[in-house]
Chains A and B, each alone.
Chain A
Amino acid sequence: MGIVVDNLQRIREECEVLKMTDKQIKEIMCRLHNDLKKGLSRADHDKATVKCWITYIQDLPNGKERGKFLALDLGGTNFRVLIINLGENHFDMQSKIYAIPKHIMTGTGIALFDHIAECLANFMKEHGVYEERLALGFTFSFPLKQLGLTKGVLQRWTKGFSCSGVVGEDVVQGLKDAIARRGDVQIDICAILNDTTGTLMSCAWKNHNCKIGLIVGTGSNACYVEKTANCELFDGEPEKEELLINTEWGAFGDDGSLDFVRTEFDREVDVTSINPGKQIQEKMISGMYLGELVRLALVKFTRMGLLFGGQGSDLLFEGGSFYTKYVSEIESDKPGDFTSCMEVLEELGLSHASDADMAAVRYVCECVSRRAAHLVSAGIATLLNKMNEPRVTVGIDGSVYRFHPHFHTLMCEKIAQLVRPGLQFDLMLSEDGSGRGAALVAAVACREAEQGS
């Protein structure tokens, strides 16, 4: 039985590469801070990896937003169409989820927008607004260069999408064209926003200290309230002091600045992804990749003879088979209990796993999820230090944050260690970001349009 203990010990040693020291984390924060500044500056923006796009949103919700709005939510887990009614201190919302089959995710842009428009039309029919001309907020969760509240150019696809003819084009126009092609429904103003923006706006509607919106889900990104003066690329009126910035920090590390903490597993995930060399930080944090990182480690240890008696299964060796939800399920077991772990391993054809194997699998999951939580925490702490506000609420959404049993706690602990003394923060689960948040942005767009004309 000495051999068995040695295996677990050796696996722990092998997993040391997944741990970041405080020194390394501080170095990461330093590099991220510099990259944020580069993104905001006119001189360095084009070459910057962290783009810090202007969202053109300068007002957080004031509670006076009113009206009926439609919303679309594309880029998260579900494609959703929503209808929101903003009232005094209350709102009601109805939504429907529509499937996006893989062939549409990877086909032409025209097919994608036609599908979106069809779902929108069906929804409007079902909710009795088919004949109405409402304003719409489009939560579009991909790297977007906004040229205004109602115009945004797709920089690249992420998270498994790859529709042709959309990169470099105005997404709002793509949607408008598809709606025009149908000739049935009509939309008034169409605001476009990122899911982090929606998260922040939705949270800020409830909590006025909310100044950061964070997503840890299929992808990872953050937006925050910056001083207009710092945003050299802003070409609008300077009177308003604040401006919401979409960092697109998923691309942090694309220039190699994270290589000093990356492992062979990260490199393997990157090389076999649909976008190699891009979204490097995101690939260390988000749901699309966490499970795969664990799987690659398990494969390595199996081949070394340290796990499962050296015997894997067809599924273990198949890319993408270790779902990120398994990580959450395995870590939800009480310490010493391996019920969920055993079920997961059975699903993977690894029912011959021993207790020591299961302890090792759990350990690998913990290392990967902890590293993700620490990276996110480093990012949030960097933003908090940069903003230097005494009290900030961080609105958070995303499946990894929502469903992982310890992510929230890990983040609270780590951010507290890294943030400048005297700065207070708290983390709040933001709900309905793509619904309420999108409606709030659409309301702002309508207000501006009225004032403008």
Chain B
Amino acid sequence: MSKLCKQVSIESPGPTIKECVFSFDVPVPDVPLYGARIRVVYAGACYRANRTRSTSVCSTSSVSSIGSFTGEMDGYAHTTIPAHIGIRDGALFPGYEVAGIIDAIGKAAERTDELKEGARIVLYPYEGVPHGYAEYIVVPDFKCLVPIPDQLPLSIAAMLPTGALLAMNTVVSASECLKVALEGPAKKDKTTVLIVGTGGLALWALRLATYYFKREEYNDRISIAVATLKDEGFLLAKECEEVNVVQWNEDLYEKQLIERTTDACGGPVDVVLNFGTTSRSLHRSLQCLAPEGVVLVTEDVGERLLSKFAKKAEDLSVSVVVVPNGTIEQLKELVSLVARGDIEPPPHSVYPAEEAAEVVRKLCNSEIKGRAILKFHNVE
């Protein structure tokens, strides 16, 4: 019972990146009656969305320092966004991404053929996920486990539960907005979609959008553009053909960037998938839109900025729409798409979990190309 395992918690980085990654020993948890214990093999590097004060399981020696620190963090998380490029660009975003192996199943849980001891799974991020990535975690409900086919490596699967899922839901929402523009009263001939950011979220969105739009009857009436915040992003995005790339050099004036964008897109755009997290990038996105255009943002961004820009959006005759995290069905679909090779995952690198602090620092500075995955166990 008193066996210990390692837990890594990644909190929301503050104004200076120090000390937002905490590693400590936790007891190996008991298997819940209706749930399962998972041996975590890979975890996507995300930070914990800060909704409540941290009362996470931790060794006694760390309690006081964590307690006071998260008190500070609460203040920051709700009013301002940490001033790091990687957070602005969506390289590091809030979420919980676990890929692993079922270690033990609760006595009263509903076993299935696919879900038994030794099965490879990813975890659908339900309400109340653990506060960190531990070598062993428990899930109270079997139903949030999604099996992974053999041909899909666990390291890639670890990118799906938040990053890819959120991107997918955003692309689905974008698709619906485009349908309205193309078939609705406006009946536009051509529409443009702009993806902002070249962090992990945007890279997934680019691949998913390219895939889904190709399957639509009006594929030739949709063009995709990507606004990159860094030069490397420019090179990355160029890997997808037929995508316009717009450089959003932050040292340029806002009006210049808007002009550059509308020039590259052949006019104002219809839908913006804004994975940038700053007030500035949202404001800029709004000003690139055609009338009736839509900016899609993630929940944490919407929470902070929606009220601030409601009036502005109304004045411009455009709207800001918040996209929630995707459903478990979407996660299952994603798993099969990626397993079949229909969608190629974005660049990613694997790091040992011990290096989490360094990885987070690099992500904050946008020094990692694509996603970062933390490795806990040598399983494959």
Kindly state the separation between the CA atoms of A347 and B81 in the bound complex, as whole angstroms. Answer: 8
Given contacts A99-B246, A347-B278, contact A313 B83 (CB under 8 A): yes
> Is A399 in contact with B253, judged by CB distance below 8 angstroms?
yes
Contact of A77 among B80, B246, B256, B280 (CB under 8 A): B256
Given contacts A97-B263, A101-B231, contact A320 B279 (CB under 8 A): no
Residues of A within 8 A of B280 (CB): 343, 347
Measured between C-beta atoms, what is the minimum distance from B71 to chain A in Å?
16
Contact of B245 among A99, A314, A328, A343 (CB under 8 A): A99
Interface: B241 (CB within 8 A): no
> Is B15 in contact with A313, judged by CB distance below 8 angstroms?
yes
In chain B, what residue has the closest Cβ to A160? B251
Interface: A349 (CB within 8 A): yes
Interface: A323 (CB within 8 A): yes
Residues of B within 8 A of A324 (CB): 251
Residues of B within 8 A of A95 (CB): 263
In this complex, the interface size class of chain B, counting residues with CB under 8 Å from chain A, is 20 to 34
Interface: B247 (CB within 8 A): yes
> Is A325 in contact with B246, judged by CB distance below 8 angstroms?
no
Residues of B within 8 A of A349 (CB): 15-16, 82-83
Residues of A within 8 A of B247 (CB): 99, 101
Measured between C-beta atoms, what is the minimum distance from A320 to chain B in Å?
7
Measured between C-beta atoms, what is the minimum distance from B97 to chain A in Å?
26
Per-position 1/0 for B11-28, Cβ under 8 A of A: 000011100000000000
Per-position 1/0 for B246-267, Cβ under 8 A of A: 1100111111100110011000
Per-position 1/0 for B273-297, Cβ under 8 A of A: 0000011100000000000000000
Contact of A315 among B83, B245, B246, B251 (CB under 8 A): B83
Measured between C-beta atoms, what is the minimum distance from B363 to chain A in Å?
14
Given contacts A97-B264, A347-B280, contact A102 B231 (CB under 8 A): yes
Interface: B4 (CB within 8 A): no
In chain A, what residue has the closest Cβ to B245? A99
Residues A361-410 near B (CB distance < 8 A): 399, 403
Kindly state the separation between the CA atoms of A314 and B13 in the bound complex, as whole angstroms. Answer: 12
Residues of B within 8 A of A291 (CB): 251
Residues of B within 8 A of A328 (CB): 253
Per-position 1/0 for A7-51, Cβ under 8 A of B: 000000000000000000000000000000000000000000000
Per-position 1/0 for A80-110, Cβ under 8 A of B: 0000000000000001110101110000000
Interface: B218 (CB within 8 A): no
Interface: B34 (CB within 8 A): no
Given contacts A325-B251, A347-B280, contact A314 B83 (CB under 8 A): yes
Kindly state the separation between the CA atoms of A291 and B253 in the bound complex, as whole angstroms. Answer: 12
Interface: B234 (CB within 8 A): yes
Residues of B within 8 A of A315 (CB): 83
> Is A314 in contact with B253, judged by CB distance below 8 angstroms?
no
In chain B, what residue has the closest Cβ to A351? B80
Kindly state the separation between the CA atoms of A399 and B256 in the bound complex, as whole angstroms. Answer: 9
> Is A313 in contact with B16, judged by CB distance below 8 angstroms?
yes
In chain B, what residue has the closest Cβ to A328? B253
Residues of A within 8 A of B278 (CB): 347
In this complex, the interface size class of chain A, counting residues with CB under 8 Å from chain B, is 20 to 34
In chain B, what residue has the closest Cβ to A320? B251
Residues of A within 8 A of B61 (CB): none
In chain B, what residue has the closest Cβ to A288? B251
In chain B, what residue has the closest Cβ to A96? B263
> Is A101 in contact with B234, judged by CB distance below 8 angstroms?
yes
Residues of B within 8 A of A350 (CB): 15
Per-position 1/0 for B335-355, Cβ under 8 A of A: 000000000000000000000
Residues of B within 8 A of A96 (CB): 263-264
- Among A99, A291, A324, max chain B CB count under 10 A is at A99
Residues of A within 8 A of B235 (CB): 101
Residues of A within 8 A of B60 (CB): none
Interface: B151 (CB within 8 A): no
> Is B80 in contact with A346, judged by CB distance below 8 angstroms?
yes
Measured between C-beta atoms, what is the minimum distance from B322 to chain A in Å?
21
Kindly state the separation between the CA atoms of A101 and B230 in the bound complex, as whole angstroms. Answer: 9
Kindly state the separation between the CA atoms of A77 and B247 in the bound complex, as whole angstroms. Answer: 11
Given contacts A77-B252, A97-B264, A99-B246, contact A314 B16 (CB under 8 A): yes
Kindly state the separation between the CA atoms of A348 and B81 in the bound complex, as whole angstroms. Answer: 10
Given contacts A95-B263, A101-B235, A314-B83, contact A325 B245 (CB under 8 A): no
Interface: A263 (CB within 8 A): no
Measured between C-beta atoms, what is the minimum distance from A404 to chain B in Å?
10
> Is A403 in contact with B253, judged by CB distance below 8 angstroms?
yes
Interface: A78 (CB within 8 A): yes
- Among A291, A314, A324, max chain B CB count under 10 A is at A314
Residues of B within 8 A of A97 (CB): 259-260, 263-264
Kindly state the separation between the CA atoms of A305 and B234 in the bound complex, as whole angstroms. Answer: 40
In chain A, what residue has the closest Cβ to B261? A97
> Is A325 in contact with B83, judged by CB distance below 8 angstroms?
no
In chain B, what residue has the closest Cβ to A323? B251
Residues A291-348 near B (CB distance < 8 A): 291, 313-315, 320, 323-325, 328, 343, 346-348
Kindly state the separation between the CA atoms of A163 and B258 in the bound complex, as whole angstroms. Answer: 28
> Is A314 in contact with B234, judged by CB distance below 8 angstroms?
no
Residues of A within 8 A of B65 (CB): none
Measured between C-beta atoms, what is the minimum distance from B157 to chain A in Å?
33
Kindly state the separation between the CA atoms of A399 and B252 in the bound complex, as whole angstroms. Answer: 9
Interface: B307 (CB within 8 A): no
Kindly state the separation between the CA atoms of A350 and B279 in the bound complex, as whole angstroms. Answer: 15
Measured between C-beta atoms, what is the minimum distance from B19 to chain A in Å?
14
Contact of A325 among B17, B80, B254, B263 (CB under 8 A): B254
Contact of B15 among A99, A103, A314, A343 (CB under 8 A): A314
Kindly state the separation between the CA atoms of A202 and B208 in the bound complex, as whole angstroms. Answer: 46
Residues of A within 8 A of B83 (CB): 313-315, 346-349
Measured between C-beta atoms, what is the minimum distance from A103 to chain B in Å?
7
Kindly state the separation between the CA atoms of A321 and B229 in the bound complex, as whole angstroms. Answer: 14
Interface: B79 (CB within 8 A): yes
Kindly state the separation between the CA atoms of A102 and B83 in the bound complex, as whole angstroms. Answer: 23
Measured between C-beta atoms, what is the minimum distance from A338 to chain B in Å?
15
In chain B, what residue has the closest Cβ to A317? B16
- Among B15, B246, B255, B264, max chain A CB count under 10 A is at B15
In chain B, what residue has the closest Cβ to A404? B253
Measured between C-beta atoms, what is the minimum distance from A273 to chain B in Å?
14
Residues of A within 8 A of B256 (CB): 77-78, 399
Kindly state the separation between the CA atoms of A77 and B252 in the bound complex, as whole angstroms. Answer: 8
Sample of 5 further A-B pairs with CB below 8 A, known A101-B247, A347-B278, A350-B15: A99-B245, A99-B246, A314-B16, A314-B84, A351-B15
A–B complex contacts, Cβ < 8 Å, 10 sampled: A77-B252, A77-B256, A96-B263, A97-B263, A99-B246, A102-B231, A323-B250, A325-B252, A399-B253, A403-B255
A interface residues, Cβ below 8 angstroms from B: 77-78, 95-97, 99, 101-103, 291, 313-315, 320, 323-325, 328, 343, 346-351, 399, 403
